[in-house]
A = this chain, B = another copy of it.
Amino acid sequence: METAPAALGCCVVQETRLDTARIRAARRVIDPIFLDTPLYRCEALEPDLGCTVSIKLETANPVRSFKARGTEVVASLLADKGSPAVVCASAGNLGQALAWSGRGRGLDVTVVASRFAPAAKLDRIRGLDARLELVDGDFDMARERAAAVALYNGIRLVEDSLDIETCEGAATIGLELVDTVPSFDAVLIALGGGALATGVGHVVKACAPEVEVICVQPLGAPAMTHSWRQRRVVTTDSTDTIADGVAGRRPIPAVLDDLLLVADDAVLVQEASIIAGMRMLLDHAGLVVEPSAALGIAAILEDRDRFAGRHVATIVCGSNVDMDAYHRWVGAAPIHR
């Protein structure tokens, strides 16, 4: 795949909060270690999936997820302003990324997370020298606590998906997707808070509007998908999914507004499909991924007819997973057909 000159002339998707020129500029402040990630066709997956599948791999970097694209932008702006500290709530990946980006710029980083978050994620946040505060509740409770910490200390609160830097950082993935030849027919994007989906979706709709933008969420954490379908914020009382990275209950109104402008569809998948997707990525692509990163493959598995014969790109967005849980889900035995 090579750079397509045509991609230089992007349309304006005026209505979202995101700005394509600013997204291009974001590339200049993001450490190159997080940019231009592998994008390759994975033919070994195709017999089982019935379509052409390309993987955009966001795990081969120091924090093993795409989140640093956003935290690099945040930390760069804070460092320019001379800010000494920053706090965020995190399901685990944003916290690692902010810790990495902040450490390199001399920022004091506090991460608030659920004590039920994967130990692998919490360990890495500590390992990157951040202050980790755990709440006895879920991600949305961590959000409340992080806001209180920010207010009390008078420091910047980074709100994933709400803060435009997190969306526009993630959107740089979109630039790398649309700058390839041949183009794709559809892009499958994990949907959680919405930074990845609105970011990539914005760029795809601006630069390659013919490509279908499909968001994928677990049936057990469907708040944003229900909100998208009903065109209004729908919250849930709880979540029930192994895909911890996308398990939110309270969609952010401004993010939903953006998502309504850029997503062609939002689909929900079963836990069994997420596990099957993880197993396929292991057996046929040699990739260990966290559950959220298998949502795209899960969506294909649940609707092969929809994708038959098409070229689908899926973003493998993270690989931070507790290995004991991973082995329990995926099992030690290979798939035999």
Contacts and interface: CB of A to CB of B under 8 A. Distances in A.
Interface of A: 1-2, 32-33, 36-44, 57, 59-62, 64, 124, 127-128, 282-283, 286-288, 319-324, 327, 331-334
A287 B59 CA distance: 10
For this chain, the copies found in one complex come to: 2
Contacts of A1: 32-33
A278 to B, nearest CB: 12
A180 to B, nearest CB: 10
A43 B126 CA distance: 12
A38 to B, nearest CB: 4
Nearest to A316: B60
B319 A327 contact: no
A286 B59 contact: yes
B288 A32 contact: no
A1 B57 CA distance: 19
Contacts of A33: 1, 38-40
Nearest to A62: B40
Nearest to A38: B60
Nearest to A60: B38
Q: Determine the main DSSP class of A at the interface with B.
A: loop
A290 to B, nearest CB: 9
Contact of A334 (B32, B60, B327): B327
Given A60-B60, A288-B288, 4 more contacts: A1-B33, A33-B40, A37-B38, A327-B332
Contacts of A64: 286
A127 B284 CA distance: 12
Nearest to A39: B33
A323 B282 contact: yes
B127 A321 contact: no
A43 B62 contact: yes
Contacts of A32: 1-2
A38 B61 contact: yes
Given A32-B2, A33-B1, A43-B127, A320 B286 contact: yes
A56 to B, nearest CB: 10
Nearest to A290: B286
Nearest to A124: B44
18 contacts: A1-B32, A33-B38, A33-B39, A36-B36, A37-B38, A38-B60, A38-B61, A40-B60, A40-B62, A42-B62, A44-B124, A44-B127, A282-B323, A286-B320, A288-B288, A322-B334, A323-B334, A331-B332
